[in-house]
Chains A and B, each alone.
Chain A
Amino acid sequence: MSLIELKNIHKRFGRLVVLDGVNLSIPAGQSLVVIGASGSGKSVMLKHIVGLLKPDAGEVHFEDQRIDALSERKLAKVRLKFGFLFQMGALFDSMTVADNVGFPLVEHSTKTPTEIVEIARQKLAMVGLPDVGKKMPGELSGGQKKRVALARAIALNPSVILYDEPTTGLDPIRSDVINELILKLQRELHVTSVTVTHDMQSAFKIADRIVMLHEGKLRFDGTPDDVRQATDPVVRRFVRGEADEAELATLNQT
């Protein structure tokens, strides 16, 4: 049974059609990776899942409840079941790392300040950064920011974690640390994961299932092994990182 379901989602910004009839069902416990070229609508689709964007047409369902038509106040309660890792972390730069991680608990729990500090410490330890609680986000490296953001995303023990380009901007070693962390959370917290990326090494490592978005539609849906053996030239070129002739032709325009 599906935990998350997108039904015929259409979204455009001005004249630019970004999603053109996307249908996707995500069962509980699955680690789904969404791949696609830059600007193909991956992040837009991810933001539809959590209600940050509303579709022009179509429906978004979570736990058999239609959520795209909910008011912001009702949606806020649904969102507590989601953790979201933003591409650049989106840490609050006016707060310390510990305050960032404890923020969802301050807002939505009745725990005491001491308990919140302890939970924040535990979550930071879980992402391998037990000693950075007193630092400000500006003092952290890019990889550390993403790990802290992940600690914040799991503060309320969500059932779904959405990752928006988790390895973008990181070196291969740091990227692998993030990949291992995603797998660890999958193992230990038994969450459902949806990861948007164009890092194929990361996709192969963390995915149970891979879908590809191309020109606003789902072009491919299968396991990592299916992707490796795909015969669709668009999918093959993307997986191998090969530009097509039309894209290369733009380099020769004078």
Chain B
Amino acid sequence: MPVAYVEKVGKQAVDAVSVFGDFCVFVGRTFLWLFISGLRPKNLRLLLPQMYEVGVRSVPVIAITGAFIGMVLAIESHATFKTLGQEERMGAIINISVVKQIGPVLAAVMLAGRIGGALTAELGTMNVTEQLDALRVMGSDPIRYLVVPRFLACVLLLPILTIYSDLLGVLGGWLVSTRFLGVPSGPYWFYSQYGVDNWQIFEGIIKAAFFGAAIGLISCYKGFNCGSGASGVGRACTESFVASFIAIIIINFFSAQVAKDFYVAIYGLRSIIG
């Protein structure tokens, strides 16, 4: 059945392109509403509840994630550094990893699960119970009313949550290194300070804003386009997390490349354990 197979593959390709195009239109309309009315006082009042939902309620999960990342990195890197007799310098590696890569990425993945799932489920339920249609019938654009505040909350708060996660990760790594593995505190901080500069912290925070944008847009899009019934909402939540996770990994790759080129252009090459 080669014709049927070709037809099936062709249909899947057309569907994929169609979904991507639909997503691009959705993103375009979100930015249009953001610039037209996103910062009007009437719309800013919609932002505060979302900031509470996205920010305040994510603090516990981010605190736990950040702290354990730092603690695990300390345990894993200690043996290698001890073999080289360089335990005092392990703070540099732990803290670079925390603020630049593992911290922001794992925080974003955790938040894709927590926030993304909640946003998709909420909007998906509104979709299947015709609440989105009710908004449109009452002359209110659901993208302006629902998506823009959620998108803004994700973009603004993911960097702040990442800073919090970084802080807990740094403290977790320090706690395990100095209190349980016997690394002296003074040199630990000295080499951490030497190895981690503002640019690396900044890089992690900037890419967190892009992770937030991806999580907000994908989660809302999936909620707006979920299938009917409870199974449709459930499937949309799963797809939302998977798509957000893939977006985070891809954004992380490109941001690492861009940031590295930028860093080398400005500071040149520099060793972290000098």
- Smallest distance from the beta carbon of A136 to chain B beta carbons, Å? 14
- Smallest distance from the beta carbon of B199 to chain A beta carbons, Å? 42
Q: Are A52 and B133 in contact (CB under 8 A)?
A: yes
Q: Are A50 and B137 in contact (CB under 8 A)?
A: yes
Q: Are A79 and B139 in contact (CB under 8 A)?
A: yes
Cβ contacts under 8 Å, B179 to chain A: none
Q: Are A80 and B130 in contact (CB under 8 A)?
A: no
Given A86-B130, A90-B130, CB of A73 within 8 Å of CB of B141: yes
- Name the interface size band of chain B: 10 to 19
How many A-B residue contacts, CB cutoff 8 Å?
Answer: 52
A92 touches B (CB below 8 Å): yes
Q: Are A90 and B131 in contact (CB under 8 A)?
A: yes
Interface residues of A in 138-194 (CB under 8 A from B): 152, 156
Q: Are A104 and B133 in contact (CB under 8 A)?
A: no
Q: Are B129 and A79 in contact (CB under 8 A)?
A: no
Q: Are B134 and A79 in contact (CB under 8 A)?
A: no
Which of B126, B131, B139 meets A76, CB within 8 Å?
B139
- Smallest distance from the beta carbon of B239 to chain A beta carbons, Å? 21
Cβ contacts under 8 Å, A156 to chain B: 138
Interface residues of A in 62-85 (CB under 8 A from B): 72-73, 76-77, 79-80, 82, 84
Cβ contacts under 8 Å, B8 to chain A: none
Judged by DSSP, the binding face of A is mixed
Given A88-B130, A90-B129, A92-B131, CB of A103 within 8 Å of CB of B138: yes
B136 touches A (CB below 8 Å): yes
Cβ contacts under 8 Å, B141 to chain A: 72-73, 76
Q: Are B139 and A104 in contact (CB under 8 A)?
A: yes
B140 touches A (CB below 8 Å): yes
Which of A73, A87, A88, A107 meets B138, CB within 8 Å?
A107
19 residue pairs of the A-B complex, CB under 8 angstroms, read: A50-B137, A72-B136, A76-B136, A76-B139, A76-B140, A77-B139, A79-B137, A79-B139, A80-B139, A84-B134, A86-B130, A88-B129, A90-B130, A91-B131, A92-B131, A92-B134, A104-B138, A108-B140, A156-B138
- Residues of B at the A interface (CB closer than 8 Å) are 126, 129-131, 133-134, 136-141, 145
